[in-house]
């Protein structure tokens, strides 16, 4: 999973050259669509990982304590996402129609402009989200790392008290990511459950990255005491939220198809024609059909090989999902060539380098947690 840093640095350099060439030679809509794609990929993955950390504290789970350091490490990607998001603010005049003068003549958009869709308030909402992410990371992750050294049970009490607050922070910030950065690419369109759809993808990506990282550590003998039963629970969550993501996605489509309102259905019309229908079919296969049937057998949920392959597939599916949400707003048909490949090479390399560095954060299990022993004794 974690490649040699020399190869990662070399591939990052190659990708960076391609990204620079994309800035110079491709249309600005294409450059910023790719940038937005990777910003939201890292942001949703990191938030999903931090959600797992807070969920453990909220419900008082024991079985997941030995695995908690992995999502804590992954949540550090929030800092990378924050930097990418700050740069993505420059994309507003390029990608978002509500920033242009003609938006004031659209009856479906004009009512949103002064109250919500304006660049200063948009930027302020993003800055507020980043501040809350940093606060949450400091309390939940940095506090956990301190607990490795102090073994102070009072920190566990603090985590549990903060966890409900983080759930509110998570709900608001994921909804803002959904409506600000994604939905407002088509400002006349709206959906009441779009935030829930993005939440499902965020949770699945964080869970998949956690499972992939946990298997990676286990295969290298770095998570002593963690057994198949722990991985089975991760696989069970992946299976359950596969169904949840699919249900939310289908429910949104079905309700809009049934109502057949012009201000709603055009969004799907743009994403199911001119070649995008093949992306939708591919998304259905890799985000639902393959993982659903692969995880039905009980024994597959806890086996290293199948779980690792399905987790990697989920991350690819989440990236494809974001691509389908973003690109049709500015491109009539799917585009994929050297600009998209360059961004992928660069950001995958940077992501691996970031995660590789984060693997040195603290010990592989939260050894100061008073419930670690009980978590290691977990049996199904």
pLDDT in tens, 304-331: 999 999 999 999 999 999 999 999 999 9
Average pLDDT, stretch 253-271? Answer: 92
* Chain length of the chain: 380
Mean pLDDT of 141-155: 95
Element (H, E) at 360: none
Instruction: Give 124: exposed, middle or buried? Use CB within 10 Å, 0-12, 13-18, 19+.
Output: exposed
Residue 236 has pLDDT above 80, yes or no: yes
User: Would residue 285 count as lying in a domain?
Assistant: yes
Render pLDDT for 200-227 as a digit per residue (tens, 0 to 9): 999 999 999 999 999 999 999 999 889 9
The Cα 314–Cα 309 span in angstroms is 9
Query: What value does the mean pLDDT take over residues 7-19?
Result: 95
In a domain, 366, yes or no: yes
Band (3; pLDDT cuts 50, 70, 90): low
Range of the structural domain that residue 47 is part of: 5-17+28-372
pLDDT in the model for residue 351:
96
Distance of CA 31 to the CA centre of its chain: 20
User: Percent of the chain scored above 90 by pLDDT?
Assistant: 90
CA-to-CA dists, residue 363 to 91, 134, 243, 297, angstroms: 39, 21, 34, 33
> Looking at the domain assignment, is residue 152 inside a domain?
yes
Residue 377 lies in a domain: no
Q: How many CB atoms lie within 10 A of CB 24?
A: 7
Per DSSP, 272 falls in state S
- The count of structural domains within the chain is 1
Q: pLDDT per residue over 27-77, tens digit each?
A: 999 999 999 999 999 999 999 999 999 999 999 999 999 999 999 999 999
* CA dist 300 → 157, 185, 223, 229, 323 (Å): 36, 40, 20, 12, 29
Residue 196 lies in a domain: yes
What's residue 2's pLDDT? 55
Q: How far apart are CA 115 and CA 117, in angstroms?
A: 7
In a domain, 64, yes or no: yes
Q: Is residue 290 very low, low, confident or very high in pLDDT (cuts 50, 70, 90)?
A: very high
- Which positions ≥6 away from 96 have C-beta within 8 Å? 184, 185, 187
Bigger pLDDT: 241 vs 263? 241
Residue 22: inside a domain: no
Residue 376 has phi, psi (to 5 degrees) of: -70, -25
Please indicate, yes or no, if residue 379 is contained in any of the structural domains. Answer: no
Task: Specify the range with the lowest mean pLDDT, choosing from 30-34, 39-43, 194-198, 258-262.
Answer: 258-262
């Amino acid at each position: 999973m974690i490649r040699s840093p020399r190869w990662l640095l070399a591939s990052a350099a190659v990708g960076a050259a391609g990204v620079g060439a994309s800035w110079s030679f491709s249309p600005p809509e294409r450059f910023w669509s790719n940038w937005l794609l990777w910003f939201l990929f890292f942001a949703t993955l990191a938030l999903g990982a931090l959600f797992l950390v807070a969920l453990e504290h909220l419900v008082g789970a024991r079985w997941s304590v030995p695995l908690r350091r992995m999502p804590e490490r992954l949540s550090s990607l929030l800092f990378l996402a924050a930097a990418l998001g700050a740069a993505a603010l420059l994309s507003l005049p390029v990608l978002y129609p509500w920033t242009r003068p003609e938006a004031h003549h659209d009856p479906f958009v004009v009512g949103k402009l002064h109250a919500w869709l304006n660049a200063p308030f948009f930027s302020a909402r993003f800055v507020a989200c980043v501040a809350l992410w940093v606060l949450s990371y400091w309390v939940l992750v940095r506090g956990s790392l301190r607990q490795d050294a102090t073994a102070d049970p009072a920190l566990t009490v603090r985590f549990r008290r903060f966890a409900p607050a983080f759930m509110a922070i998570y709900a608001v910030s994921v909804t803002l990511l959904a409506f600000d950065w994604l939905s407002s690419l088509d400002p006349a369109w709206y959906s009441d459950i779009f935030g829930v759809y993005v939440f499902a993808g965020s949770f699945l990506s964080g869970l998949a990255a956690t499972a992939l990282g946990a298997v990676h550590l286990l295969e290298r003998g770095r998570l002593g005491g963690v057994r198949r039963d722990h991985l089975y629970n991760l696989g069970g969550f992946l299976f359950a939220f596969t169904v949840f993501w699919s249900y939310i996605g289908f429910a949104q489509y079905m309700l809009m198809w049934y109502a057949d309102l012009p201000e709603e259905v055009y969004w799907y019309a743009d994403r199911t024609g001119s070649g995008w229908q093949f992306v939708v079919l591919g998304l259905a296969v890799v985000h639902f059909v393959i993982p659903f049937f692969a995880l039905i057998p009980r024994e597959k949920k806890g086996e290293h090989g199948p779980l690792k392959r399905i987790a990697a597939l989920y991350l690819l599916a989440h990236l494809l999902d974001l691509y389908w949400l973003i690109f049709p707003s500015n491109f009539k048909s799917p585009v994929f060539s050297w600009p998209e490949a360059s961004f992928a090479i660069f950001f995958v390399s940077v992501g691996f380098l970031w995660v590789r560095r984060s693997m040195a954060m603290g010990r592989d299990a939260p050894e100061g947690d008073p419930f670690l022993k009980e978590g290691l004794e977990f049996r199904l």
